[in-house]
Amino acid sequence: MRGADEKTPMKVGIAIVGGGPAGLAAAEILATEGHDVHVFDAMPSFGRKMLLAGKTGLNLTHGEAYETFVSRYGAAAPRLRATLDVFSPQDVIGWADGLGADCFTGSSGRVFPRAMKASPLMRAWLGRLSELGVQFHARHRWTGFSNGALCFESSSGDKIVSFDACLLALGGASWPRMGSDGAWAGILEAEGVEISPLKPANCGFDVAWSESFRGRFAGAPLKSVAGTSPAGTVQGEFVISRHGIEGSLVYAHSAALRDALEHDGRTEFLLDLAPGRSVTRIAGDLSRLPAKVSFSNRLRKAAGIEGVKAALLRELVPDISAGSPEKIAGFIKALPIPLVRSRPIAEAISSAGGIRWAAIDEAYMLKALPGVFVAGEMIDWEAPTGGYLLTACFATGRAAGRGIAARIRAARA
């Protein structure tokens, strides 16, 4: 049954659908200029995905050289460049410090608030927005358009909201329990908006582990290793899961591995179990050990390989103990992990795909829906973890906010 307030649509100046970092960034730009801003979100509170991501350390941005930073966005870098030029990593730091974050740069180059969590920053941000006059509407799930107005399901019944301008900042399709379920893709496609299929990004992969290996080592970390894929070679660590592999090193390669699986139907993640030693050194050290030394001890003494690393070698190369020193050394330095598929998008840290760049103009307005703007992960870009995701969400949200403000000024002129 419709709510009692449904016969008369609610009229607002600017409607922002999605209370995550992109939507709130746009709200800040617009409210600062004195616009009537209303933020709608399906969840009971705002910024929930950012809050969850920042429970153990909110990685706001990255302190590396700017040219390197921009390159992390891959194919979308040329289009995002102008947006990031206006709100760069240094601007993110300045903005966050203005809210009391007291940011610092870790040894990895990643930038965090001193409190190492998102909740103080989010409280300060929402407080600033409220002081600027932004009105918040929780538990409002967007279901589409009706005669140019927004349709919502809310706790008090269905609602229709008309607007002067609108921003959609609904996120991608990862972490659907936080509200970003990708349901908007079908709605916008029906309106003539070009959409690239949504895919998992910064995700894990399935591997066909044996039951014995899975039962013993699921949850075990592999530290001080290097991985190679079409994306290059990166050193780091990851975790053996019941399904396969996941963790920061895997996420650094996930886009390249996902695309290879999609294109070829199969791919391998090459793993170097001893990055500090050469094949020649390992083979030589193995050769010098007496034949009576057990294989486990040979691996430990010659290459520092033991525990889950040794078990992984046996899992993927069952006859490795009978191999020559050269063969064993070769697999230690380049162990192929055959991947079956990407883990589901609902488990991914972020998503790729979304609204194609050709479908939006330079101000982030949808060409098929004049007056409707988009920002954040809804757009077809992806980036690795390390602060790149949040920075682009902040930057595109602010850019869309400026685009909305410019459109309203032109309409009033």
The model's pLDDT over 221-233, given as tens digits with 9 standing for 90+, comes to: 999 999 999 999 9
Residue 169 has pLDDT above 90, yes or no: yes
The model's pLDDT over 341-353, given as tens digits with 9 standing for 90+, comes to: 999 999 999 999 9
Average pLDDT of the segment spanning 408-413: 90
The model's pLDDT over 27-68, given as tens digits with 9 standing for 90+, comes to: 999 999 999 999 999 999 999 888 887 777 899 999 999 999
* Fold held by 10-198+353-412: FAD/NAD(P)-binding domain (3.50.50)
Residue 3 has pLDDT above 60, yes or no: no
The model's pLDDT over 73-132, given as tens digits with 9 standing for 90+, comes to: 999 999 999 999 999 999 999 999 999 999 999 999 999 999 998 999 999 999 999 999
Residue 366 has pLDDT above 90, yes or no: yes
Q: Are 375 and 80 in contact (CB under 8 A)?
A: no
251 vs 383: CA distance, rounded Å: 10
The model's pLDDT over 231-256, given as tens digits with 9 standing for 90+, comes to: 999 999 999 999 999 999 999 999 99
CA dihedral 371, 376, 382, 387 (to 10 degrees): 150
pLDDT, residue 51, reads 87
Q: Are 210 and 301 in contact (CB under 8 A)?
A: no
Indicate the burial class of 404 (C-beta count within 10 angstroms; 0-12, 13-18, 19 or more). buried
Q: Are 291 and 241 in contact (CB under 8 A)?
A: no
In the chain, ranges of CATH 3.50.50.60 domains = 10-198+353-412
Average pLDDT of the segment spanning 12-38: 97
Give the pLDDT band (50/70/90) at residue 180: confident
For the ranges 51-65, 195-209, 363-377, the lowest mean pLDDT is seen at 51-65
The model's pLDDT over 265-278, given as tens digits with 9 standing for 90+, comes to: 999 999 999 999 99
pLDDT, residue 53, reads 78
pLDDT, residue 2, reads 34
Residue 217 has pLDDT above 50, yes or no: yes
Residue 213 has pLDDT above 50, yes or no: yes
Residue 1 has pLDDT above 80, yes or no: no
The residue among 130, 183, 155, 158 whose CA lies nearest residue 18 is 183
Residue 71 has pLDDT above 50, yes or no: yes
| 181's tokens | 């379920």
Q: Are 178 and 20 in contact (CB under 8 A)?
A: no
Average pLDDT of the segment spanning 358-365: 98
Residue 5 has pLDDT above 50, yes or no: no
Percent over 70 (pLDDT), the chain: 98
